[in-house]
Structure 1
Amino acid sequence: MDSNTEVVLAARAGLTGWDALVERYSRLVWSVPRSFRLSHADAADVYQCTWLCLAEHLTRIRRPERLGAWLVRTATRQSIAVLRTRGREVSLDRWEPVSVLPQPDEVVVTNDRQRRLWTALMTLNERCQRLLCIAAHSPELSCAQVADALGMNVSSVGRTRTRCLSALRRKLEGLR
């Protein structure tokens, strides 16, 4: 099975097609919650929820060639929902002994650097945000997989990433 249309039609028809879908997109779906730095358990929940959503909507997928982008959007929404929920909880496994805690000045510098980076990233367009998050947190994905996930032409992934990084650098310089 070569095209997404063939794989989606096979998945609608039976388990063999579903296995082909999971094999084709498993790494991509896993990369999304990883890019949000979710715990392994939360990432596994997002992964499962994403596939469950696809199973529920498989017969309504109108453009199978865009399935990668649909999966990334769904996993992104699931990841954000988990972050919102987890942001209200205090995790005991994140507590560290006092002896290994960073110095207060290191925390301030790190937090300021992270705040500036995220502020600059959030001012970029959604395509750049998604491309840079995938590139940063899932460097093992091929250009073809990234292009499929973002609905881009494979040959434009590198140029677009370069433009997005340049725009991010300019935004960061403006925040100093």
Structure 2
Amino acid sequence: MGTQAYVSAASGLSTTILLERAADGDQLAWGQLIDDYDRLVRSVAGSFRLQAADVSDVAQTTWLRLVQKLHTIRDPERLAGWLAVTATRESWALLRRAARHAPMVEDRPDPDPAVDPEATVATGDAARDLWATVAELPPRQQRLLIALFRDELDSYNEVAATCAMPIGSIGPTRARALSQLQRKLADRDLGPADL
């Protein structure tokens, strides 16, 4: 089964064409790429529980990395995955820098015996694996899953407005997205027992 080209709903252009035009300095193409993918970039950074300003920093740095690597993107139609991986790396880098500069605290409270540190780390790793896999889905499905499960929008009207899709399309699109996500996770041995 071949890769299906993502076409921006707003511009009607494929990611490949948008990237080519952006490389030629077309600011409208850059704007459309950001409109199409910034929510994904910010949701990946948000999965690290960063403060809003840090999420913005990660997003800005991720877009800067795209500018720097624009001519080396081998498969433009997989831009979503590239952006998700880059946002993950930038989030880790930000956390490492923050840890290096954090002041040493002498009086630390006793750890809560009810909190299992290994389980906490495993849960965080599983969430990052899950959202990185979501980033490989077609952008329309990504936006829908983010709206439904990360942003936890209250109504289908909000979801439809956020995702620019008719309410009647939400259920079938969600079913296809979850089915595709389940297959991708199973291919990576990240089934329900691992998440």
TM-score tier, shorter chain, comes to 0.5 to 0.7
Work out whether 1:39 is the aligned partner of 2:51.
yes
CA contact (8 A) 1:32 1:134 kept: no
Separation of aligned partners in 1, 2:122 and 2:142: 29
Separation of aligned partners in 1, 2:140 and 2:182: 11
The CA deviation at 1:64 is 0.5
Distance 1:73 1:20, change over 3 A: same
Separation of aligned partners in 2, 1:22 and 1:132: 19
Q: Residue 108 of structure 1 aligns with which residue?
A: 113
Gaps of 5+ in 1: 92-102, 136-140, 148-152, 170-176
What is the count of residue pairs matched by the alignment? 141
Distance 1:35 1:56, change over 3 A: same
Q: Deviations over 1:108-137 (max 9, x none)?
A: 212x1x522423665x7xxx85225787xx
State the TM-score, normalized to the length of structure 2: 0.59
Identical-residue share of aligned pairs (%): 33
Q: Residue 130 of structure 2 aligns with which residue?
A: 131
The CA deviation at 1:62 is 2.2
Q: Residue 171 of structure 2 aligns with which residue?
A: none
Separation of aligned partners in 2, 1:132 and 1:60: 24
Distance 1:133 1:5, change over 3 A: closer
The CA deviation at 1:165 is 5.0
Q: Residue 106 of structure 2 aligns with which residue?
A: none
CA contact (8 A) 1:132 1:164 kept: no
State the TM-score, normalized to the length of structure 1: 0.65
Separation of aligned partners in 2, 1:81 and 1:4: 27
Gaps of 5+ in 2: 1-11, 104-108, 146-175
Separation of aligned partners in 2, 1:83 and 1:160: 28
Q: Which amino acid aligns with 2:130?
A: L
